[in-house]
Structure 1
């Protein structure tokens, strides 16, 4: 599996490695919602640290940027947390998160032929403004996320977006 995945990575990266706009996040298959994932046995994908590390070393060897810098400042801030980061769909809808594509709370607005870009600024602020929580102050990873890691669970379901609360406190 590693050789075919590495070959896929190489093919993907061949023309992109000199372009600083592109980077790859190496991540195992995971449950990001939906009905289809319930049919998969995801237990075999957990604990793939060695495989992920091999892919990261390969990307570094060919000079390709990767987004697996988990300890660096601001490295865990989700793109959807930035106020000017938006997904423009072919249908003209404007959304925040590329995982929750059809969720009503992911809809920011639309592109209109006469009005131009029409945005719900209240919804945009919901995705992009969260104060630092009390527990963040003592967290060893506070500068990595600033309480702006994956906003999907917080915005859509009211759950905590902290990936570090158990691991680092």
Structure 2
């Protein structure tokens, strides 16, 4: 069996002779096998630990901000805020379909690059651009280590197939500035990472 933990009330049946309790809701009695996760690349492997130094503790404490720094798209949805009347814990209720918003590959003139634009536009100043788009408040930026951001950029460039595609688009745009480009991401075939 897979070793998943269950509540007693989730048992499927028990063996009367040896009093063994059986559960089938996870792996269907060993019929479903999920391969283990691939090992995380560095620096994520070292940073995403809960038993380490001050640097990794600060990373874990600000992991949502770091995650936002590397988002390719923004989320689009019809969010219902009427459920938050102050009488209970805050809720995030979405009505209808959730979708991802992908804008232009390049920001409008005078605008700060955001989301996937950060993988293409002004990558010489990429760390600063990422920090600028995070949040206008200085306090949130102070919690982010620019060296970690630089290490994560390098990791994504080496291991993330989408980052590689957008870096390729950056290179093509710089080689052929007068050309128009369309990036089309087609659903992955089995075994294809993109």
Smaller-chain TM-score range?
under 0.3
Q: Which has the higher contact order (CA 8 A, sep 6+)?
A: 1
Answer with 1 or 2: which has the greater Rg: 2
TM-score of the two chains, using structure 1 as the length reference: 0.23
